[in-house]
Amino acid sequence: MPKEFYKRSPEIVAKELLGKRLIRKLDEDSMEGIIVETEAYYGLNDPASRAYHGIKNYNRPMWKEHGRTFIYNVHRYWMFNIVAHTINEIGAVLVRAIEPVKGIEIMKNNRRVIDVFDLTNGPGKLTIALKIDKSLNRIPVTSSESGIIIANNRMKFEMRSSHRIGVKKDLKRKLRFYIKGNRFVSR
């Protein structure tokens, strides 16, 4: 996906990332999945956002270049986000779950699980399965040379929305988006 794709509201980008392919290159191997669940986060007026308390060293990417990763830790798990916002705004999209389609055995080995439906159905599970950590923070997802790429994919699905998961204070808008009926959406 081109950089311009991410120069829009986090809500729009979160919706339109559904159904796209997330490709993780790792040495000679690659793993791939279809994005099935996302959440949009805004800036200083979003109480659930990492940007809510102002700019800090760890959350600085949310103010920076569109289409780059923003990776931070929550309860010992890495969270994989992509910076997305309009010009002079702040925001990112959390990728919560993917449907694995390539490199499934590698993912299973990384997560040490057998059940494919328990492999990537949550943001922490996804990062463990794909070996995404802080070393990949701020890399572009728009370059074919990158370790993480978001690519177009054509598929039909019905989208649903809800309030974001695991947040203490949320906005009134529903900013979690997922593919209806997909078994890889987090529980």
User: Quick one: pLDDT at residue 16?
Assistant: 98
Does position 187 have pLDDT exceeding 90, yes or no? no
pLDDT exceeding 70 applies to what percent of the chain? 100
Does position 28 have pLDDT exceeding 90, yes or no? no
- Helix, strand, or coil (residue 126): helix
Domains in the chain (CATH in brackets) are 3-179 (3.10.300.10)
Q: Which residues have C-beta within 8 Å of that of residue 39, sequence separation ≥ 6?
A: 14, 93, 94, 96, 164, 165, 175, 176, 177
pLDDT tens figures, 108-137: 999 999 999 999 999 999 999 999 999 999
Does position 27 have pLDDT exceeding 90, yes or no? no
User: Quick one: pLDDT at residue 151?
Assistant: 96
Report yes or no: 74 and 80 within 8 Å, Cβ to Cβ.
no
Does position 5 have pLDDT exceeding 90, yes or no? yes
pLDDT tens figures, 54-108: 999 999 999 989 999 999 999 899 999 999 999 999 999 999 999 999 999 999 9
User: Quick one: pLDDT at residue 64?
Assistant: 87
**Residue 117, phi then psi, degrees to nearest 5:** -75, -10
Averaged confidence pLDDT in the chain: 95
